[in-house]
Structure formats: C-alpha cells, structure tokens
Structure 1
C-alpha cells in the first residue's frame, strides 16, 4: 500500500511531488529513466519506490520540518523494515528506493551498503558485461531484453556511484572494487537507451574510479623513506592524477557538447567544471594529509605549493558554482545533503586557506564578496533548516572577523608590513580552529586541520610537537 492508498496524501499531491522530483533530483541520483519511470508505472510496480520518490518531492516543496514529509519518511522506514524482517527477495525497485533513501539520509553509508548487497544478490555486477557483449557494434532499435539489461546496468552504476562518493569523501576507500575501465564505461554512450542523465552518471563513475586509484596510491605511500623520496612519490602521483583529471574533463566536455539536448548542455558543462575542481582540491589536500604536517609555516615548498593549488581549485570551484549563465544554484531545492556539505566546505576552505596563506587583503575581500553572493542566492531556494547553510553563514562571519582584526592590527602598527613571526589574533585563532562537527563525524573532507603558526627565534624553546 502506497501513501495515496493509505490516505496520507492525495493523488494530486503525489503527481505534483513526483513531477517535482524529475525536475532536478533525477540528475543527483541518476538511477531512473523518465520514459520508463512514469508515475503510473512506478505506482503499479512498487509502493516503496513511489513513496520514496514522492517524499523527496515533498521535501523540496514543503521543507524538512513539514509534517507530511516526516510521515512519508516514517512510511519509508516501515517499507524497509518489512522488506528486511519478512526476508522478502528484493526487486530492482527496492534497490532504487533504498538508494534514494541513502542519498537523502544521515545514514547514507549503511543504506548504500544495503542497496549494494541487494544489487549483488540480484546479480547486477554481471549485467554490465552482458550488455556490453550484446550491444558491441550494434545500433538502432533494441529489444525488450536489452532495454532491461540497460536499465539494470544504470541501476548498478548508480548504486556504485553513491558508494564511491560517500566513501571517498567520507574518509575511507570504497568497500568494494569496481572492475571497470573507461572504455567499458564509454561503450554505453552510443546505446539507444542512453539519456542525458546517463551521461552525468557515466562521467561520475569514471571520475570516481580515477579518484579511487589516486587515493589508494597516496595511502600506500611509505613514510619510512626520506623526505625527498616521499615528496618525489607524492609529486608523481599528483602530476599523473592531475593529467588524468584534465583528460577526463576535456573528453567528457566534448561528449556533453555534442549531446542532442542543447538546453541541457550549459548545466552539464558546469557540473563537469565543478566536479573537476573538487577532485583537484581534495587530491592536493589528501596528499598534504599523508605528510602529517598541519602547520603551513613548517611545510616544505612542495607542500605549501600543494596547499596553494588546493586553494586555487577551491576558488575556481566557488566561481563555477556562481556562474550566472546557468541555473546550478536553482537545483539546490532538490539537492542532496552531500552536495550541500561540499558547497559549505569548499567556501569555508577557500576562505580559511586564503587567510592561512596570507593572501593580499583585496583578494580575501573578493572571495568574501563571492561567498556573500552565494549565501544570498541560496537563501532564495532554501526551505526549512539546513545545517550546512548555517555553516556557510558562520564561516563567512568568522572570516570577516579575522580580516577586520588583521586590518586593525596593521593600521595600529608602526610597521605597515607584517613580519612572518607575528602571531594570529583571537579572531583568526577562532577561524583557524573552526571545524564543524558535520565535517568531522559525517564527512572527512581534508584540510580543515591546517593552521598557520609562524616560528620566531623565541618559539624554538617551546614543545614543537604541539605545532605539528
């Protein structure tokens, strides 16, 4: 029994929220086909999936705190409990519903693991190979069996993609090895069933495979060798991965630019730009984390350059989000908590690194202007309380306080040029130490532990371990 049959919502509400979901969320959780997954078909196939889709549409329109949304969430938990307790064999629609719950839940990692288990139970990992073998060199119309193979392949890649995102940005390597090559991924681009949403999915899968390989190499970097040897290895990993990311970006931009849906190209290209900069930013910060050095004042030239590159990528990331030629921020009405977290973190990071690296005051002011502009844009689409919106606002306020304090110190100082050994003021200390709990316990985004504690001659008499 679905929510309409239970009398919780009307069919008109279900239709409105279902349509709202397919106005934006299907790009964020790309496991659906708009031609196949229409409301009548979904309602006939699965009450669990219908309620899951409608709940996300309700959340976007009514907000997190609405009574109807909370009731729909309770229904989803009931659907899931019945599936587990009664030991019912899962169907594809169950996996789709659980994946949706994972994408929009605080318990995303656990739910994603469950979706993966059910997908493996249904044999979805083998489906991609069956599809590739069947459609190699084929074009034109396909039969119903092949359409089903493509649908199952989309679902498998979609579940894996959520797992990759949550793992890579949750501080751990993926719990499963995805044996796939760029050639196999791109072989589906020419399939007649391929949609614009699938282009988003396939590009993300390939990107996350590159990121997974790079993170594995970084983790396996030995700390027993000399500093020079370690930096040589890190430099090689960073250079090689940066080239791979640039190739990924350029090649998929070409794919998007030739897409038959011209109205979707600007947003698709913007998403590629945003993901490219996020990958570069986190790559360099992960490399710094491997060194174990947190104090920028104690870093080698190579390490400081990596921090600067991370800051530059974060700045471009912010500018890409604010691109006025497309309506990326309008999609935040439907977006995942994960995307909110990335947005808030990238702003906090670029502001913090600009302060730590002692960027010119006018550069920090320009970044603050962009951050304020982002905040104002998001106010227009935010419905209900979102923790990451509050983090974004607090980050801006703390950075402004640190900047005002710094300007005040320089105005009062007889020496207009600050010396490297000057200590930070209270406001900067507060900003340097700002690490929201969401970025510690829910996500493990790198870089928030960085600080700037210059050493004067008198500082050599203190315990240096406290600065590292």
Structure 2
C-alpha cells in the first residue's frame, strides 16, 4: 500500500528531521559528527538548545523547562486535577485527539509539561472563565513553549502536536498553529500510521498494543488534518494540506477497532468529509474547501446559473448521504444514549452549517449582493440558504441543553459560528419573508441568548454581537408593523426605513477581520431606489 504521506499535497522540509536524527546519534554516542552549522550548542531533554548563525544564536526561552505549572506553584495539585477533569468533560470534544485510557493525568504530566500545562490552562478557562486572573496567569505560561516550537528548538513529538492543536482552538490565529502542527506531524510521518493500522486490521493481527499505538498516531494526524482545514477555511485561508486518493474515504473501517473511542465517531466523520473533498465530491464542514474552489469567481470565467445550480444540487445530495450514513453508524455504536444524541446533533449541525455557507459562497462568487436584481435561479439559492439556516436554528433550539451546554467548553470559533448563523438567518428572512414567522424567529433568538447567558455568554464578544443583531432586527420589524398600521405616514416610495437600512448594513467587523463568513452583505435595494441613484450619478 502506497505511503499515505507520499500522497499528501505538500512539500515538507526534511532538513529539520535529518538534523534531529543526527543530533540523537550524537547524544547516543554515535561518533558520526553532526553539521556544526545547524546543531552547534543543541541538546536534548530539558537542557538549553541553540542554533548559531554568525554572531547570533537561538536560545531556549523556557527558563524552567520541564517544570510544570504545579511545580512552579501556579496551581495546587488539587486544582490541577480539577482543571484536568474539566478539560476532559467537554473541551476534548473540540480537540478529539486523545485516548482516555492512555492520556491520563499522571501519564501526560510525565510525558510532556507543555501538553500538561496547556490542558490545565484550558480546563481553568472552562471552570473559571476567560477573564479569571488565574487563567490569565496560566495562559502566559503557554507562550514560551509555542515560541520554542516556532524557533525550532523543540523536538517533534505527538504531545507537542496535541498542545499546538489545543492552543490553536483557544487562541487567535489558530490557523497558524495548526499549520505548525501539520508540519510536525509530517516530520513524524504520522499519516503512515493510518495505512499501517488498516493493514494490521485487515490481517486480523492480535497485537493489541501495536494497534492501539497506531490508532493513537492516526487519531492525532486526523485531528490535525481536520482542524487545519476548519480553521483555515473559517479564516479565509486555503488549507495547507489535502489528501489525494480514496484511502481516507474508507476511514470508517477504523470504527471496528477495539482502540476507537466514542469521540472517534465525531472525528472520523469529518475525516471522511475531507477525503470526499479531495476526490471531487462534497460533504460536511470541510466540504467548503471544494465549494470555495468550484464556486469562487475565476478571472475571465463566470459560472452560469445552470452550472451553479448543478454544483449546489450535487453538494446537497452528497451532504444528505453523508449525514444519513453517519447517523446509522452512530445509532449502532456501543455508546450511551446521551453520547449518541450528542453525536447526531453535531452531525446535523455540520450538515446545515456547510450547506448554508456553501450556498452563500456560491452566490457571493456571482458578485451580486442585491437580491432585488438577482435572477429567479439565484434568488432560489437564497431561499435554500434560508432553509438550511432555519434548520440549523431548529436543531439548536430542539437541543439547547445538549448542544448549548457544551459552549461552556467551546472556543471562540464555536461562539462565532453560532452568532453568525443566527444573524444570517435573520437577514435572509428579512430579504425573503415569504412563509416565515419573523416574530417567532426573534423570540427563538431571545431564548437562545438566555441559554447562552447561562454558560458565561455575557463576557463573550459573540454573545454581544448576537444580542445586537436581534435588537436591530426587532427594531426593523417594529418599523414595518408601524408603517403597515399607518400607511399614510410611510412617506414616498423612495423612503428607505432607517431601522431596516441599519439592520441590512450591519456586518460585525469580527466577521470580516477575524473570520471569513459569507452572506452578510446580501441586501434588498428596490429598482426605483437604484434608478434614482443612477439619475444622480448621470447628472440628470
């Protein structure tokens, strides 16, 4: 079977890995000299390591390398145990790269202070909130190890990759940290673990420890691959790595392994989607990579309404098949009813999110934001996006405790997606109000806000964005009702209501500068209003 890492569309630099192997040989007593230009002054473990460049040298930044936050007195042993447990009560669902039977408190603390400190820090965040002084102090301790990785003074390891992925999810510029994790995973040849795991499963090997070791490596690679795609796409960056071939599409075979966990259903469903992208089909969250490529405007080439409709229809069908397949797999899993329900909700959320953003991306590629001048085919895509957004909202509202309760552990992009999805639904419903109950939608949005306030939402910027979105939409609706009750006071046909204009033009800067979510610039400007502007522009 061809090595999977050889089929990844990226160009990893082998010099780092070669240098580290040479260094290891030196430490182990191998007389072969390492090139002094690259390795002068470097050492392993907790010792200081540096690289010389002329009159400068790269120095280790961690003054207390190897000493974790407990040993440094930043938290007590009891607090560390509490925060560790909190992390694995919910944060690990967003970073599903752990094996609970292997990644225990004592095991992680013994293997990697960087990973241990990162888990304790994020557990403190979930327990005490992002504004707590203890979390802020712990968060500062994670900066030096990340800088060490950037400088190349940290040896590649699975634990370092896991720490990078956690930090990526709970910090700004996460796409950069996942890119670093991808490079380190390729240096360690983690993609090959999946190929080897498939081989021993097909052979029926009874080497349980070997299977578990390969599964741990494959899990970390899959988690790295998926998170790199998600954070890249949400931030408007093209993913840095993609798979070529059909091997990863068959990853569901790993569900038959004794080493798999319940969270592997969540992870492998996304992995399969990544492969669908690479092979030219489509699927949930990560399908946006393909949709972006196929639906984005190309220089000198414009998609016809028919071509756009065919791409959208094919993608929606693939999404439905993907969802149906994985719900069936989850229902047959050996998990608790609550775990199954949580997995199914997550799958539905992925499908709805992917569909509505894919539709908006396609329409955005046309270059027309004004729904009033769209063709009927284009306007129908707006309707489909609204249906997807409404279904997304209904799934959340039907499972507030099960889904929104996890927001206590969620990172910023989870909150951002929630706020965006509601704002998009409100906007699309205002643009195409047929068969919609706007008062009920606003009422549901207020219930959503109330639920989010129970999980420290009041201190979250995206909670405030969502609150302001609902407030602006409600003002626009009240203005409509007032004009309907007193049509003689509505002014001329060219009078554009202030509240409606304010709501249509509301695009939070966070969704432009930090994220790349499509659809918020759609508007409705009547024909006569446009004609008036054209007359002014021509001087008539």
Q: TM-score, normalised by structure 2?
A: 0.81
User: Shift of the alpha carbon at 1:422?
Assistant: 5.9
Structure 1: gaps of 5 or more residues: none
User: Shift of the alpha carbon at 1:72?
Assistant: 1.1
Q: Is 1:347 matched up with 2:347?
A: no
CA 1:152–1:388 in 2, change beyond 3 Å: closer, same or farther?
Answer: same
Equivalent position of 1:120 in the other structure: 186
Q: Is 1:426 matched up with 2:503?
A: no
CA 1:96–1:299 in 2, change beyond 3 Å: closer, same or farther?
Answer: same
User: Shift of the alpha carbon at 1:343?
Assistant: 0.2
Q: What number of residue pairs does the alignment pair up? A: 458
CA 1:249–1:424 in 2, change beyond 3 Å: closer, same or farther?
Answer: farther
Q: Is 1:401 matched up with 2:475?
A: yes
User: Shift of the alpha carbon at 1:246?
Assistant: 0.4
User: What is the rounded CA distance, in whole Å, between the counterparts of 2:122 and 2:245 in structure 1?
Assistant: 31
User: What is the rounded CA distance, in whole Å, between the counterparts of 1:317 and 1:461 in structure 2?
Assistant: 38
Matches within 5 A, 1:95-134: 95-134=161-200
Q: Is 1:436 matched up with 2:508?
A: yes
Given candidates 140, 144, 158, the residue that maps to 1:74 is 140
Q: Is 1:273 matched up with 2:348?
A: yes
User: Shift of the alpha carbon at 1:464?
Assistant: 9.2
User: What is the rounded CA distance, in whole Å, between the counterparts of 1:48 and 1:148 in structure 2?
Assistant: 21
User: What is the rounded CA distance, in whole Å, between the counterparts of 1:29 and 1:155 in structure 2?
Assistant: 9
Matches within 5 A, 1:347-366: 347-359=422-434, 363-366=437-440
User: Shift of the alpha carbon at 1:136?
Assistant: 2.0
User: Shift of the alpha carbon at 1:358?
Assistant: 3.3
User: Shift of the alpha carbon at 1:459?
Assistant: 4.0
Equivalent position of 2:390 in the other structure: 315
CA contact (8 A) 1:135 1:191 kept: yes
Given candidates 363, 372, 381, the residue that maps to 1:297 is 372
CA contact (8 A) 1:52 1:100 kept: yes
Bigger drift between 323-332 and 35-44 goes to: 323-332
Q: Is 1:387 matched up with 2:461?
A: yes
Equivalent position of 1:4 in the other structure: 70
User: What is the rounded CA distance, in whole Å, between the counterparts of 2:364 and 2:244 in structure 1?
Assistant: 27
User: What is the rounded CA distance, in whole Å, between the counterparts of 1:384 and 1:396 in structure 2?
Assistant: 15
User: What is the rounded CA distance, in whole Å, between the counterparts of 2:300 and 2:437 in structure 1?
Assistant: 36
Equivalent position of 1:45 in the other structure: 111
Q: Is 1:286 matched up with 2:354?
A: no
User: What is the rounded CA distance, in whole Å, between the counterparts of 2:426 and 2:393 in structure 1?
Assistant: 11
CA contact (8 A) 1:266 1:326 kept: no
User: What is the rounded CA distance, in whole Å, between the counterparts of 2:260 and 2:495 in structure 1?
Assistant: 57
User: What is the rounded CA distance, in whole Å, between the counterparts of 2:457 and 2:312 in structure 1?
Assistant: 40
Quick one: higher RCO (CA 8 Å, sep 6+), 1 or 2? 1
Q: Is 1:237 matched up with 2:311?
A: yes
CA 1:378–1:129 in 2, change beyond 3 Å: closer, same or farther?
Answer: same
CA contact (8 A) 2:364 2:519 kept: yes
Bigger drift between 427-436 and 181-190 goes to: 181-190
Equivalent position of 1:60 in the other structure: 126
Structure 2: gaps of 5 or more residues: 1-66
User: Shift of the alpha carbon at 1:324?
Assistant: 3.9
SS class of match (1:462): helix
User: What is the rounded CA distance, in whole Å, between the counterparts of 2:427 and 2:309 in structure 1?
Assistant: 24
Matches within 5 A, 1:191-206: 191-206=257-272
- Give CA-to-partner distance per residue, 1:229-268, whole Å, 9 cap, x none: 6111111111111110000000000011111113311111
CA 1:56–1:377 in 2, change beyond 3 Å: closer, same or farther?
Answer: same
Equivalent position of 1:455 in the other structure: 527
User: What is the rounded CA distance, in whole Å, between the counterparts of 2:376 and 2:300 in structure 1?
Assistant: 18
Structure with larger Rg = 2
SS class of match (1:284): helix
SS class of match (1:188): helix
User: What is the rounded CA distance, in whole Å, between the counterparts of 2:207 and 2:480 in structure 1?
Assistant: 66
CA 1:6–1:148 in 2, change beyond 3 Å: closer, same or farther?
Answer: same
